[in-house]
């Protein structure tokens, strides 16, 4: 039985929604009747997803498209201000934007890569949360942060990414404890396993290698496949629903296909494939 969510009249901001998981989340909210705000750095991607959301909307609601760099406080301010000016409120904030860099601690560019990852994956979330509280408090709204199983495991040459996600999980729990009693805002996190997006190609892996990684790693997952954006979107929609998940806050929700339970190593599989094809 499929679940049909009703987010009619809700206003949802999804950062990093010009592609991948963010786009999948935006599309599901649009299909469920929400006013969605597509936010990202890629203008063409933002416009594409915005049109898809409008087409999926039962009432053909026009998605609000905001192009900006969320490592820039002024662009974050503009995102929240434009949302509230356009729709009069904010109900749900989905902090999805995230990047990863391969970074060896002995390399000269390590610290700059570290700063870049933290500014995107953590600082933007902290700042947007800070700016959104006054609006979410008026709507009994909630926040969903998109973290990763990387918060639970270590990996060589990806320490900035893993650290950013571990910090994000703690921020989620701290904000749940702080914002619940004072502002009636729920805060939860979704931690995906390997999902088919452009994440690995942006880190420089060839598409053919990425496809092989998805195939190889997916075969080791207990459910027999890696994730799709819709898998994460469904988890987000559940957490966003005050009807379905009203008793959940401070939760770190794994949506990983059994990745952690099966002790699957993407790092090992990826390196083995690179060695094979080099």
Q: What is the pLDDT of residues 212-230, one digit of tens each?
A: 999 999 999 999 999 999 9
Alpha carbon distances (Å) from 37 to 11, 88, 187, 259? 8, 13, 19, 31
Is 110 known to be catalytic?
Answer: no
Q: What is the pLDDT of residues 159-191, one digit of tens each?
A: 999 999 999 999 999 999 999 999 999 999 999
Q: What pLDDT shows up at residue 202? A: 84
Q: Give me the phi and psi of 93, to 5 degrees please.
A: -115, 120
Collect all residues with Cβ–Cβ distance below 8 Å to 38 and sequence separation of at least 6.
Answer: 14, 17, 18, 26, 46, 49, 50, 53, 63, 64, 65, 66
Rg (CA), the chain: 18
DSSP single-letter state for residue 63: P
Both tokens of 192, joined, read 């995906």
Of 94 and 277, the structure prediction assigns the larger pLDDT to: 94
Torsion angle (degrees, nearest 10) of CA 256, 190, 83, 73: -100
Both tokens of 30, joined, read 């649009």
Report which of 1, 12, 68 is spatially closest to residue 237, judged by C-alpha positions.
12
Name the one residue in this structure whose structure tokens are 């649009």: 30
Q: What is the pLDDT of residues 120-153, one digit of tens each?
A: 999 999 999 999 999 999 999 999 999 999 999 9
Give the residue extent of every domain in the chain: 11-203+224-260
- Which of these is catalytic: 5, 161, 214, 238? 161
* CA 182 from centroid of its chain's CA atoms: 26
Q: Which fold has domain 11-203+224-260?
A: Rossmann fold (3.40.50)
Q: What pLDDT shows up at residue 1? A: 41
């Amino acid at each position: 039985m499929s679940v049909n969510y009703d987010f009619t009249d809700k206003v949802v901001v999804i950062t990093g929604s010009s592609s991948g998981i963010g786009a999948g989340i935006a599309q599901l909210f649009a299909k469920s009747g929400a006013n969605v705000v597509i936010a990202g750095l890629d203008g063409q991607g933002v416009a594409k997803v915005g049109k898809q959301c409008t087409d999926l909307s039962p009432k053909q609601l026009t998605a609000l498209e905001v192009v900006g760099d969320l490592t820039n406080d002024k662009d974050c301010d503009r995102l929240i201000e434009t949302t509230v000016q356009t729709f009069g409120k904010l109900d749900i904030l989905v902090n999805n934007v995230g990047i990863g860099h391969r970074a060896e601690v002995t390399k000269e560019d390590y610290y700059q890569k570290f700063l870049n990852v933290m500014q995107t994956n953590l600082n933007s979330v902290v700042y947007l949360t800070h700016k959104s509280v006054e609006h979410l408090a008026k709507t009994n709204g909630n926040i969903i942060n998109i973290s990763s199983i990387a918060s639970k495991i270590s990996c060589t040459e990806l320490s900035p990414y893993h650290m950013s996600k571990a910090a994000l999980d703690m921020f989620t729990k701290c904000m749940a404890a702080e914002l619940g009693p004072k502002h009636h805002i729920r805060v939860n996190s979704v931690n995906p396993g390997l999902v088919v997006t452009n994440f690995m190609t942006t880190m420089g892996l060839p598409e053919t290698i990425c496809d092989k990684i998805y195939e190889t790693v997916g075969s080791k997952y207990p459910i027999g496949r890696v994730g799709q954006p819709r898998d994460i979107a469904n988890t987000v929609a559940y957490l966003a629903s005050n009807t379905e998940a009203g008793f959940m806050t401070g939760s770190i929700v794994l949506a990983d296909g059994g990745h952690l339970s099966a002790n699957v190593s993407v790092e090992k599989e990826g390196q083995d494939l690179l060695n094979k094809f080099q």
